[in-house]
Structure 1
Amino acid sequence: MSNSAVDITLLGRTYSIGCPKGREEALRTVAREVENQLTTLKSRTNNLSREELAIMAALNIGNELYEEKQKNKQYMAQMDERISLLQSTLETSLVERSS
């Protein structure tokens, strides 16, 4: 799959980022979210450098990702439990019908 360049702007600086074809809109969406994080952090703390803002934004985004992964793990565990219960119920029903 070939790449294309996508221009994104973060805190007034434009970056040209290589991106797989067909994923350009996803990159733009992520860039908007990062820009929102950076802008919010900058408005709350005027004394942070670009590097510090980027680190804080990365930590915030990383925390959001971690929380979503935890929710996903819990959901998958619940689904596995429900599937097991359903399988057990079906097996019991089939055994009772064949008796």
Structure 2
Amino acid sequence: MSSHAIEISLLGRTYSIACPIGQEDALRHVANKLEKQLSSLRARTNNLSREEIAIMAALNIGYELLEEQKKNQDYIKQMDEKIGLLQSTLESALVERATKGD
């Protein structure tokens, strides 16, 4: 897959980032969300360096990702349980139908 560089701006600095063709909008969207989080952290904590702000943002984003992964796992578990119940119900109905047909 080929890529090309696009420019994004974070905390007043411009970065040239390699991006797969067709993924430019997604990268820009992520960069905009990151810029908002970095700016918010900077506004709340004036005495932190860029590196410290970036670390805090990474930790916040990592926590959000972990929470979403937990929600996804819970959803998968619920769907597995519902599928199991549906399979059991269908099997019971088929057995009942087969015994009535005899």
One-letter code of the match for 2:12?
Answer: G
Give the distance between the partners of 1:94 and 1:59, measured in 2 at CA.
52
Aligned residue runs from structure 1 range 6-85, under 5 A:
6-85=6-85
RMSD: 0.5
Segments of 4+ in structure 1 off by > 4 A? none
Give the distance between the partners of 2:23 and 2:89, measured in 1 at CA.
43
- Where 2:53 maps in the other structure, the secondary structure is helix
Tell me the residue number matched to 1:97: 97
Deviation at 1:6?
Answer: 1.2
Q: What are structure 2's unaligned runs of at least 5 residues? A: none
Deviation at 1:62?
Answer: 0.5
One-letter code of the match for 1:59?
Answer: L
> What TM-score do you get using the length of structure 1 for normalisation?
0.98
Q: What are structure 1's unaligned runs of at least 5 residues? A: none
> What TM-score do you get using the length of structure 2 for normalisation?
0.95
Give the distance between the partners of 2:55 and 2:88, measured in 1 at CA.
49
How many residues get paired? Answer: 99
Give the distance between the partners of 2:97 and 2:75, measured in 1 at CA.
33
